[in-house]
A and B are shown apart, each in its own frame.
Chain A
Amino acid sequence: MSTDSFREMKPVSGPAAHGQLARSGPPEPALDAGASPTTGTGALQPAGGGRKPVRRKGLSERNRPLWMLIPGGVLMFVIIVVPLFLGIYMSALNLDQYSLRKWVSAPFIGVENFVEALTNSPLLHSVWLSVSYSLIAMLVTLPLGIAAAVATQNAFKGRALVRSIFLIPYVLPSFVVATVWRTMFQPDGVVNSALNVFGIDGGLWLNGPQTYWTLILVQIWASWPFIYLLALSGLQSVDHEVHEASALDGALWWNKLRYVVFPYLKGPLALAFLIGMLHHINNFTLPFVLFGVPAPADVEVLPILTYVTSFQSFRFGLSAAMAFVSLVLIAIPLFIYLRAVKLDDAETPGGKK
């Protein structure tokens, strides 16, 4: 479930990623490394904490408590996989208000919903909106998060407090964030009255073309701490000797950052970038609570479009087709992400141990 879970998983995914980054490099390499014995070649796998590959093999072949997988596996199968296929099946049905009551017998129309979704619906526009808004938000949050991480890397009085403050947007629930910003962005609200002080007419934030930027602004506010967390984890992995060496060289701070420190951030940030994109694309609560439905055309992002199509227009089949298309859209970056992180394994300094 990614609609909302996205923001929620960030606060923890950060630290989680840290723990693991610090221990054995980025998560995916670990994943693959852990899995590599399966591929059989076995004994001398270099990665994944494989300090004792030989003995591990022996251990693994004892009575394996595979039954422990069953409860969780059954749950995930019944509550995620089955409904997922049900959803995909629905995308091939002409399921609307006329057939909803007996949905099992709704007419099967094959790919018609997909054709309609792609040729005669705002789907492609929504795809464009979703991707562009996610990307812009991501490109702004990256420098913010890195700056914050670099700034809180060195100990100073009150650093702990500052670190806590930086994570606040993160732990606030999405619906709270959206409610608050919606209030602030009212036509006569506090944002516009603040802008008025500087002689700027803020205009309408919750209607019209400007909504696109409203959404981006709020998304940035809510999600930059995620980047901050991952960047911080990258900085933690910079060895002390590296600091000493560059200090001996007398490197200027900018050069030191640019050539010594930033390379350590590449891995964690690649991870942050892709997870972040997925989560922006799947974010339902933020636009839903900020703008309501029908949303202005400028923020009719994918989750809103699928929601409106099913729950406002009763086109459940069409909506399922749209959601499926967006799933494909998300799966592609996910695939790239799995590959990309694997590549990082060889290059990331953090992963060298």
Chain B
Amino acid sequence: MRFAPSAKLAAVALTAALALTACGGSGSSTSASSGGAVDGAGKTLNVLTGVNNQYPEEQKKWQSDIAAKFKEKTGAEVKFETFASANDELTRIQTSVVSGQGPDVYSLGTTFTPTAYATKAFVTLSDDDWKKVGGKDRFNPAALGISGPDSEHQAGIPFVSRPFVMAYNKDLLAAAGIEKPATTWDELAEQAKKMTNAGAGTYGLATGYKDNFDPWKFIWAMSVQAGNPLVDGDKLKMDDPTVKKAYETYFGWLTKDKVVDPAAIGWSNSNAVAAFASGKAGYLMMTTSSSIPTLDKSAVAGKYAYSIMPTTAPGESSPKGDGDKAASILSGDNVVVADYSQQKDLAFAYIELITSKDEQLNYQKIFGELPANAEALASLTDPKLQPIADAAGKSKATPFTGAWGDIQLGLLNVTVQSIPDLAKGSVDESALESRLKDAQSKGQASLDRAAKS
């Protein structure tokens, strides 16, 4: 019941007044190295973050723990708000941007950082600001690759890394006489064929064609490995043969190679995890360390391992261009501070807390996410994590342009529109070409607008 606005307004006004004085105070008196000096008594910091579908209970607990620690440190409350989907996230950011009010701290997927940066509604960190979050050198340098257009202009503070790898079922590989995981996409398809036994419900690969993100990540990786970075200056190269080849390979697993469960056209990534966890798949594609807690409790516990995904494009014998550095997109979560926030120092203090070594390790333990804190990352000794850390080093940032969101949507849309064809068992070449052409023209238009701004 909040139909008593006057009291609340008074509180808001009071808080704002306090915030102003507090900001003035800390700004002048400290060049604090750790932000620990911020006094936030009586204030509330609003943090927007994605809901964790896999571990909702754990997330709630983590949030209340962090809030308690933050209160102890600064005296301020933290209030968490979660968004359920990328769609919600976009809407929240847009409305906050246009209204100049909303959460103080946002947690963003890395690929969304360029779009957020383009709005200029988030703080581009000064040297001083970096000091407040514990110094730039506290972070894994690779993780900073998508924090801003260049090292002088960075808005995204890395929180976790989530490089994409593949998991494989050691027993199934061994049974098929495969000694080590594939390093080229062609080899992967060959191995997958050997492991597929549709009659027994076993398939070589597990991946979800209806996932909202996975499809474009495959296409991006295969294209980059074939020497096409997709965005070349002001030019979008989605009508390139390499992109078409990538889609054909990706769709081909289902239609030609038949190494994927036909039901996968309706799967998201988590359905694929479930299939792999039940021992029904040789490879689980495009997964992250966050699958560890699930897999360790499943039928494949102890029987699986991770490996970096192939870095050699389909039809090639060795990586081209930056290919060998494109085992994964540079992925994870960044946190950004809203430009309109009245309590930026408090926000930085919060970020300092959650990116500290101990908190990062704690987070890794609960959710399986790789730390962005360099020291914490280095202290991980679990051999299972080795390939993942390896992939973190071989991650390549997606192009830093405000148009990336549209391009990504276009890449995804080609798959969305092809799903009925996939269900029928073959994707018509001319239909694919026209979808690509459409995506190319829309994406190019978006790039043009980005260039003008």
Which residues does A use to contact B, with CB under 8 Å?
96-101, 103, 120, 186-188, 203-204, 207-210, 292-294, 296-297, 311-314
Contacts and interface: CB of A to CB of B under 8 A. Distances in A.
Contact of A294 (B412, B421, B445): B412
Contacts of A97: 115, 118-119, 402
B266 A186 contact: yes
Interface string B437-453: 00000000110011001
B87 A311 contact: yes
B101 interface: no
B91 interface: yes
Contacts of B413: 294
Nearest to B450: A98
A292 B86 CA distance: 11
B115 A314 contact: yes
A121 B322 CA distance: 35
B30 interface: no
Nearest to B435: A297
B118 A296 contact: no
7 smallest A-B Cβ distances: which pairs?
A208-B420, A98-B453, A187-B266, A207-B419, A101-B121, A97-B118, A97-B119
Interface in B86-134: 87, 90-91, 94, 97-98, 100, 115, 118-121
Contact of B419 (A101, A188, A204): A204
A31 B446 CA distance: 49
Contacts of A188: 263, 266
B417 interface: yes
B423 interface: yes
Contact of A100 (B91, B119, B266, B449): B119
Contacts of B406: 313
A208 B118 CA distance: 34
B90 A311 contact: yes
6 contacts: A98-B120, A203-B423, A207-B419, A210-B420, A311-B90, A312-B405
A136 B104 CA distance: 48
Interface centre among A186, A203, A294, A296 (most CB of B within 10 A): A294
B273 to A, nearest CB: 18
Contacts of A100: 94, 97-98, 119, 121
Interface residues of B, number: 33
Given A98-B402, A100-B97, A101-B121, A312 B420 contact: no
B435 to A, nearest CB: 9
B41 interface: no
B16 interface: no
Contacts of A208: 419-421, 423
Contacts of A312: 87, 90, 405, 409
B73 interface: no
B18 interface: no
Given A187-B265, A207-B420, 20 more contacts: A99-B453, A101-B98, A187-B263, A187-B266, A188-B263, A204-B265, A204-B420, A204-B423, A207-B210, A207-B265, A207-B419, A208-B419, A292-B87, A294-B412, A311-B87, A311-B91, A311-B94, A313-B405, A313-B406, A314-B405
DSSP majority for the A interface?
loop
B403 to A, nearest CB: 9
Interface string B407-423: 00100110011011101
Contacts of B449: 96, 98
Nearest to B267: A187
Given A98-B119, A101-B120, A186-B266, A209 B420 contact: yes
Contacts of A187: 263, 265-266
B417 A296 contact: yes
A43 to B, nearest CB: 50
Contacts of B416: 207, 294, 296
B409 A294 contact: yes
A178 B430 CA distance: 34
B338 to A, nearest CB: 11
Contacts of A103: 98
A306 to B, nearest CB: 14
Contacts of A120: 445
Interface string B210-229: 10000000000000000000
A98 B423 contact: no
A285 to B, nearest CB: 14
Contacts of B450: 98
Contact of B97 (A101, A210, A296): A101
Nearest to A186: B266
A294 B416 CA distance: 8
A186 B412 CA distance: 20
Contacts of B90: 311-312
Nearest to A204: B423
Contacts of A203: 423
A301 to B, nearest CB: 16
Contacts of A311: 87, 90-91, 94
A305 to B, nearest CB: 13
A186 B210 CA distance: 12
A289 B47 CA distance: 27
Nearest to A313: B406
A200 to B, nearest CB: 15
Contacts of B94: 100, 311, 314
Interface in B386-430: 402, 405-406, 409, 412-413, 416-417, 419-421, 423
A98 B409 contact: no
A267 B118 CA distance: 55
Interface centre among B87, B265, B405 (most CB of A within 10 A): B87
